[in-house]
């Protein structure tokens, strides 16, 4: 319960922190911390416009997407404390419930029948598919390290602070997870959320036809997703009493958001053909982690 | 220094901004003679077609060809009287669009033309190039775009993420500028129209209009007029190039470049506003006068602004030149080869990025410009066009500094005399705006009224360059290719 509540709280400010970091780096005054929330609130007050070509799938997709992200967030633990639910193999459930949401977004994009959205859907599915091996290699390494197959048990059994190798592996895995989070959340250097050019975007072009309330749902799901990955990363470092653990959680979330913001300020997006190469290199790094643990 | 002509027909050789009697322009009724001379001139490396248009006088249609020779700083003008409703194509790539325009305006049918499509007529059944292959899909973008840009329809033929072909349908912005130029009788109205043809080139177009009009009136511009106009042209170049660099960085999602160049552009356009009351430099240039005197205070201000600008501009440009993340997006993207650029008659900055030495400021000097060197790149990619911009901005700062050093103070005289254009005359003006060469042609009737005003924007040639540049590129790289040219829709559509 605590974990889920903290994720929701973090989700409220995560996007705001990214935007703030970017505007500070650009020397601009920039919007306030809660501007993303205000945007969503504004969208929730609006009606939704549906194209005549769309079917029930298009109306269903935003709800399924948000539900899938919330369900996934519910199984993220908080240190040794379980999430809303926990069972053996829940990390597989975590990955595929997210995939289900994404699947609905993709078929909804195809449902609208515009040439842009088909393009976005194909890009989004390609990059998520490529990122999947890296995610499972990391989770596989964790279960190998701990000998357990549920999130809660994994994080309560592993003490990353125990030795220098454990800490090293933990940090590498945390960085890899952050990069996967950036791919899954369609941020730089894979995707550019700031541009309004339909030909270059990935995620944004996929949801081009969604408007009003539905768009609000998709945006909120995006915010929760950030915080959820942040919480997963925080689990690597959480130790000690509850106040200390919450402090570490907040710090990790802040570091993740600032890292994303700084990356987006000081580098350009990859050329799209280079994206698979980048994602494969994450898989390669995850393999190195796995082999290190096997030999250990 | 006329070349030896093999054709029977001899062209009239004039200088930039020179007025001649219309009757002096040689004309023939033999199309093969005309065509032979065009081919002969266009085969010379230093020659390119700057304008080719039709002029209807007393129901007789006269085609007038203007070919600029960069080596001799002359423009060869000659004509052909068409007594038919069919126009045989010259089959020269660089004249393609001109022929389409003539055919469209005078309802002629084009014979043996490689691309006989409308130029400024938009329609739902526009004959787009189609490929029936099942693996190929079409993406239509526009005419309404994301962001604040002008309307134009882009039809991509793609295989997966790769662009096989791009065809652009323009004409949404057609306002009938050339017709209005003739209809509006007041000089101030004409001047306002000239600078509104394309607002991002307001200064260079009003300089060209003023030059052509003054030439028709036999007016020789005083020194301070030339100084103010040259300065305005270079300020415009700096402002727009810097804004484009900012937008190029924005399109590759490089926030730092986007923010820094964006910030640098502001003091320059604000200075233009301080001088003439408009950030785009509208009203800065008018025929016969300098409406806003360039005072000592402005000179001092400009020196301070330029010093601050140059330091940051050079630093940012250095950083981009060494930054792999940005370079990997710009290099080898959107290549236009020198052969392609030459064939389509690419002009200006885009031409120079593809290895074509073509700069009207140097080859056909006007205002205070002198013959000299200009930056040329040979790769023809987005990076080449980015570098050209960076180098031209620095060069323009140099030009402005040397102007300020010898600024003619206290020479302002507002002697408003009444000048009127000579009757039955022809005047042609070429200027190098930031985008490239713009060609203004004016023809007067027997009463000395304007009978025809033809404008040719640099975009007229360069839209074809964009179509060629994006072939075999990723569709996600289209915006950056497009931005690297930054062509004008309204300048093309008129």
Structural domains present in chain B: 12-111 (no CATH), 177-484+489-493 (1.10.645.10)
User: How far, rounded to the nearest angstrom, does the alpha carbon of residue A26 sit from its chain's CA centroid?
Assistant: 25
Contacts of A195 in chain B (CB under 8 A): 250-251, 253, 479
Residue of A nearest to B329 (CA): A271
Q: Are strands B47-57 and B60-69 parallel, antiparallel or unpaired?
A: antiparallel
Tell me: the pLDDT tens digits for A6-24? 999 999 999 999 999 999 9
Is A197 within 8 Å of B475 when comparing Cβ atoms? no
Confidence of residue B431 (pLDDT cuts 50, 70, 90): very high
| pLDDT for the residue B323 | 93
Is A198 within 8 Å of B140 when comparing Cβ atoms? no
- Say which of A189, A199, A265 has its CB closest to residue B476: A199
Q: At B50, list the tokens.
A: 């700057």
Q: Are strands B74-82 and B27-28 parallel, antiparallel or unpaired?
A: parallel
Which B positions 114-153 lie with beta carbon below 8 A of chain A? 137-141, 146-147
Residue of A nearest to B159 (CA): A119
Contact status of A271 with chain B (Cβ, < 8 Å): yes
Cβ atoms B419, B217 nearer than 8 A: yes
Cβ atoms B326, B254 nearer than 8 A: yes
Cβ atoms B120, B459 nearer than 8 A: no
| pLDDT for the residue B1 | 41
* Beta pairing partners, B27: B79
**Rg over CA atoms, chain A:** 19
- CA atoms of B406 and B402, how far apart (whole Å): 7
Is A268 within 8 Å of B254 when comparing Cβ atoms? yes
**A241: which residues sit within 8 A by CB, 6+ positions away?**
none
- Say which of B254, B255, B476 has its CB closest to residue A200: B476
Of the candidates B192, B282, B194, the one whose C-alpha atom is nearest the C-alpha of residue B236 is B282
* Beta pairing partners, B78: B65
Is A271 within 8 Å of B477 when comparing Cβ atoms? yes
CA torsion B356-B358-B362-B363 (nearest 10°) is: 120
Is B147 within 8 Å of A25 when comparing Cβ atoms? no
* Beta pairing partners, B48: B68
Average pLDDT of B329-352? 92
Of the candidates B172, B174, B138, the one whose C-alpha atom is nearest the C-alpha of residue B153 is B172
ipTM above 0.95, yes or no: no
- CA atoms of B434 and B350, how far apart (whole Å): 10
**Rg over CA atoms, chain B:** 22
Q: To the nearest whole angstrom, how far is the Cα of B477 from the nearest Cα of chain A?
A: 7
> How big is the CA angle at B144 (ends B140 and B146), to the nearest 5 degrees?
95
- CA atoms of A187 and A195, how far apart (whole Å): 11
Contact status of A198 with chain B (Cβ, < 8 Å): yes
Contacts of A208 in chain B (CB under 8 A): none
H/E element holding B224?
Answer: helix B223-251
Average pLDDT of B291-315? 91
Reading phi first (left if > 0) and then psi (alpha if -120 to 50, else beta), residue B416 is in beta
- CA atoms of B138 and B159, how far apart (whole Å): 9
CA distances (Å), B130 to each of A278, A284, B163, in order?
35, 43, 13
CA distances (Å), B321 to each of B315, B325, B327, B337, B355, in order?
10, 10, 7, 22, 20
Provide the 8-state DSSP code for B23: G
Contacts of A119 in chain B (CB under 8 A): 139, 161, 475
Residue of B nearest to A264 (CA): B255
Percent of chain B residues past pLDDT 70, beyond the cut: 97
| pLDDT for the residue A191 | 87
Contact status of A273 with chain B (Cβ, < 8 Å): yes
Is B477 within 8 Å of A119 when comparing Cβ atoms? no
Contacts of A113 in chain B (CB under 8 A): none
Provide the 8-state DSSP code for B407: -
Residue of A nearest to B333 (CA): A271
- CA atoms of B426 and B329, how far apart (whole Å): 47
**B373: which residues sit within 8 A by CB, 6+ positions away?**
B362
Confidence of residue B149 (pLDDT cuts 50, 70, 90): confident
Lowest mean pLDDT among A240-254, B113-127, B415-429: B415-429
| pLDDT for the residue B414 | 58
Contact status of B197 with chain A (Cβ, < 8 Å): no
Average pLDDT of B137-160? 87
| pLDDT for the residue B6 | 66
Tell me: the pLDDT tens digits for A192-204? 877 767 788 888 8
Provide the 8-state DSSP code for B17: T
Q: To the nearest whole angstrom, how far is the Cα of B259 from the nearest Cα of chain A?
A: 6
Contact status of A270 with chain B (Cβ, < 8 Å): yes
Cβ atoms B397, B237 nearer than 8 A: no
SS3 A78: strand
Is B253 within 8 Å of A22 when comparing Cβ atoms? no
Q: How far does chain B reach from its first CA to its final CA, in angstroms?
A: 36
Q: At A271, list the tokens.
A: 């050329």
Tell me: the pLDDT tens digits for B241-274? 999 999 999 999 999 999 999 999 999 999 999 9
Contact status of B483 with chain A (Cβ, < 8 Å): no
Of the candidates B7, B10, B16, the one whose C-alpha atom is nearest the C-alpha of residue B365 is B16
- CA atoms of B489 and B494, how far apart (whole Å): 8
Q: Are strands B47-57 and B27-28 parallel, antiparallel or unpaired?
A: unpaired
- Say which of A22, A115, A266 has its CB closest to residue B137: A115
Q: To the nearest whole angstrom, how far is the Cα of A93 from the nearest Cα of chain B?
A: 32
**B484: which residues sit within 8 A by CB, 6+ positions away?**
B248, B334, B382, B385, B386
Residue of A nearest to B332 (CA): A271
Model confidence at A115: pLDDT above 50: yes
**B493: which residues sit within 8 A by CB, 6+ positions away?**
B120, B170, B171, B172, B173, B174, B175
Cβ atoms A59, A50 nearer than 8 A: yes
Is B138 within 8 Å of A189 when comparing Cβ atoms? no
Model confidence at B3: pLDDT above 60: no
Q: To the nearest whole angstrom, how far is the Cα of A274 from the nearest Cα of chain B?
A: 10
Q: At B304, list the tokens.
A: 């301070």
Tell me: the pLDDT tens digits for B278-296? 999 998 998 888 888 888 8
- Say which of B139, B259, B326 has its CB closest to residue A27: B259
Contact status of B478 with chain A (Cβ, < 8 Å): yes
Interface test with chain A among B143, B250, B476, B479, by most A beta carbons within 10 Å: B476
Q: To the nearest whole angstrom, how far is the Cα of B462 from the nearest Cα of chain A?
A: 22
Contact status of A114 with chain B (Cβ, < 8 Å): no
Model confidence at A163: pLDDT above 70: yes
- CA atoms of A85 and A83, how far apart (whole Å): 5
**Where do runs of H (alpha helix) occur along B55-175?**
96-106
The answer to whether the bond into A6 is cis (omega within 30° of 0) is no
Cβ atoms B159, B135 nearer than 8 A: yes
Q: To the nearest whole angstrom, how far is the Cα of B442 from the nearest Cα of chain A?
A: 40
Provide the 8-state DSSP code for B55: E
What is the strand order of the sheet B153-159 is part of?
A: B137-141, B153-159, B162-169
Cβ atoms B487, B385 nearer than 8 A: no
Contacts of B147 in chain A (CB under 8 A): 196-197
Contact status of A195 with chain B (Cβ, < 8 Å): yes
Contact status of B263 with chain A (Cβ, < 8 Å): yes
Cβ atoms B421, B213 nearer than 8 A: yes
Model confidence at A178: pLDDT above 90: yes
Q: At B436, list the tokens.
A: 């490239």
Contact status of B251 with chain A (Cβ, < 8 Å): yes
- CA atoms of B80 and B63, how far apart (whole Å): 5
- CA atoms of B151 and B144, how far apart (whole Å): 6
| pLDDT for the residue A194 | 77
**A289: which residues sit within 8 A by CB, 6+ positions away?**
A137, A138, A141, A169, A172, A173, A176
Contacts of A274 in chain B (CB under 8 A): 328
Q: Taking all residues of chain A, what is their mean pLDDT, rounded to a whole number?
A: 90
* Largest Cα–Cα separation, chain B: 72
Model confidence at B4: pLDDT above 60: no
Q: Which residue in this structure is represented by tokens 């003091």?
A: B267
Q: To the nearest whole angstrom, how far is the Cα of B392 from the nearest Cα of chain A?
A: 24
Q: At A67, list the tokens.
A: 């539900």
Contacts of B140 in chain A (CB under 8 A): 115
Average pLDDT of A221-230? 93
- CA atoms of B421 and B161, how far apart (whole Å): 56
SS3 A152: helix
Tell me: the pLDDT tens digits for B66-101? 999 988 889 999 999 888 888 888 888 899 999 999
Interface test with chain A among B146, B326, B475, by most A beta carbons within 10 Å: B146
Tell me: the pLDDT tens digits for B167-213? 999 999 999 999 999 998 888 899 999 999 998 999 999 999 999 99
Tell me: the pLDDT tens digits for A28-60? 888 999 999 999 999 999 999 998 889 999 999
**Where do runs of H (alpha helix) occur along B28-176?**
31-42, 96-106
Reading phi first (left if > 0) and then psi (alpha if -120 to 50, else beta), residue B228 is in alpha
């Amino acid at each position: 319960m605590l974990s889920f509540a903290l994720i929701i709280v973090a989700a409220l400010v995560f996007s705001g922190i990214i935007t703030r970091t970017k505007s500070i780096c650009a020397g601009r005054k920039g919007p306030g911390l809660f501007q993303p929330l205000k945007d969503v609130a504004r969208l929730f007050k609006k009606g939704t416009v549906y194209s005549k070509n769309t079917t029930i799938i298009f109306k269903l997709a935003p709800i399924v997407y948000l539900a899938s992200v919330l369900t996934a967030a519910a199984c993220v633990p908080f240190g040794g404390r379980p999430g809303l639910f926990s069972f053996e193999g829940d990390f597989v459930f975590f990955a595929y419930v997210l995939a289900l949401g994404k699947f609905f977004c993709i078929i909804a994009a195809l449902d609208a029948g515009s040439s842009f959205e088909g393009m976005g859907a194909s890009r989004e599915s390609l990059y998520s598919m490529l990122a999947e091996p890296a995610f499972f290699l990391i989770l596989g390494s964790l279960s190998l390290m701990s000998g357990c197959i549920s999130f809660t048990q994994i994080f309560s059994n592993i003490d990353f602070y125990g030795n220098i190798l454990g800490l090293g592996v933990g940090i590498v895995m945390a960085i890899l997870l952050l990069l996967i989070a950036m791919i899954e959340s369609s941020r730089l250097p894979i995707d550019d959320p700031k541009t309004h050019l339909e030909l270059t975007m990935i995620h944004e072009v996929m949801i081009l036809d969604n408007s009003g309330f539905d768009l609000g749902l998709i945006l909120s799901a995006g915010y929760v997703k950030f915080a959820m990955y942040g919480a997963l990363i925080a689990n690597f470092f959480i130790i000690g009493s509850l106040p200390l653990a919450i402090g570490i959680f907040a710090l990790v979330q802040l570091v993740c958001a600032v890292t994303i913001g700084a990356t987006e300020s000081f580098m350009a997006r990859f050329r799209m053909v280079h994206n698979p190469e980048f994602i494969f290199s994450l898989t390669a790094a995850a393999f190195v982690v796995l082999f290190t643990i096997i030999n250990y | 220094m006329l070349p030896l002509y093999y054709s029977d027909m001899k062209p009239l050789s004039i200088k930039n901004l020179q007025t001649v009697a219309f009757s002096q322009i040689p004309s023939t009724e033999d199309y093969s003679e005309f065509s032979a001379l065009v081919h002969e001139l266009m085969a010379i490396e230093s020659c390119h077609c700057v304008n080719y248009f039709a002029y209807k006088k007393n129901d007789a249609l006269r085609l007038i060809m203007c070919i600029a020779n960069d080596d001799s700083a002359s423009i060869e003008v000659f004509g052909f009287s068409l007594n038919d409703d069919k126009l045989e194509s010259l089959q020269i790539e660089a004249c393609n669009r001109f022929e389409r325009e003539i055919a469209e305006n005078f309802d002629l049918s084009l014979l043996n033309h490689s691309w006989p499509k409308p130029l400024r007529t938009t329609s739902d059944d526009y004959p787009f190039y189609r490929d029936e292959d099942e693996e190929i899909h079409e993406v239509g973008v526009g005419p309404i775009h994301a962001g604040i840009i002008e309307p134009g329809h882009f039809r991509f033929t793609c295989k997966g993420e790769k662009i096989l072909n791009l065809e652009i349908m323009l004409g949404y912005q057609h306002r009938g500028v050339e017709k209005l130029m003739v209809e509006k009788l007041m000089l101030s109205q004409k001047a306002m129209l000239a600078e509104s043809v394309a607002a991002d080139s307001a200064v260079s177009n009003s300089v060209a209009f003023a030059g052509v009009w003054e030439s028709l009136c036999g007016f020789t511009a005083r020194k301070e007029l030339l100084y103010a106009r040259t300065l305005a042209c270079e300020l415009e170049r700096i402002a727009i190039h810097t804004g484009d660099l900012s937008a190029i960085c924005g399109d590759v999602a490089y926030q730092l470049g986007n923010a820094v160049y964006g910030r640098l552009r502001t003091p320059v356009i604000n200075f233009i506003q301080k001088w003439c009351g408009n950030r785009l430099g509208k009203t800065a240039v008018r025929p016969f006068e300098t409406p806003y005197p360039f005072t000592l205070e402005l000179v001092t201000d400009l020196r301070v602004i330029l010093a601050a600008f140059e330091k940051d501009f050079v630093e940012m440009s250095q950083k981009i030149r060494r930054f792999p993340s940005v370079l990997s997006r710009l290099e080898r993207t959107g290549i236009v080869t020198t052969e392609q650029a030459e064939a389509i008659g690419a002009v200006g900055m885009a031409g120079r990025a593809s290895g074509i030495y073509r700069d009207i400021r140097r080859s056909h000097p006007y205002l205070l410009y002198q013959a000299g060197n200009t930056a040329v790149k040979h790769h023809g990619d987005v990076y080449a066009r980015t570098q050209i911009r960076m180098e031209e901005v620095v060069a323009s700062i140099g030009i402005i500094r040397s102007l300020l050093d010898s600024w003619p103070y206290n020479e302002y005289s507002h002697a408003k005399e009444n000048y009127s254009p000579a009757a039955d005359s022809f005047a042609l003006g070429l200027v190098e705006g930031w985008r490239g060469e713009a060609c203004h042609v004016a023809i007067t009737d027997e009463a000395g009224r304007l009978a025809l005003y033809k404008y040719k924007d640099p975009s007229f040639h360069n839209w074809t360059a964009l179509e060629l540049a994006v072939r075999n590129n990723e569709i996600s790289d289209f915006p950056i290719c497009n931005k690297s040219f930054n062509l004008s829709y309204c300048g093309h559509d008129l």
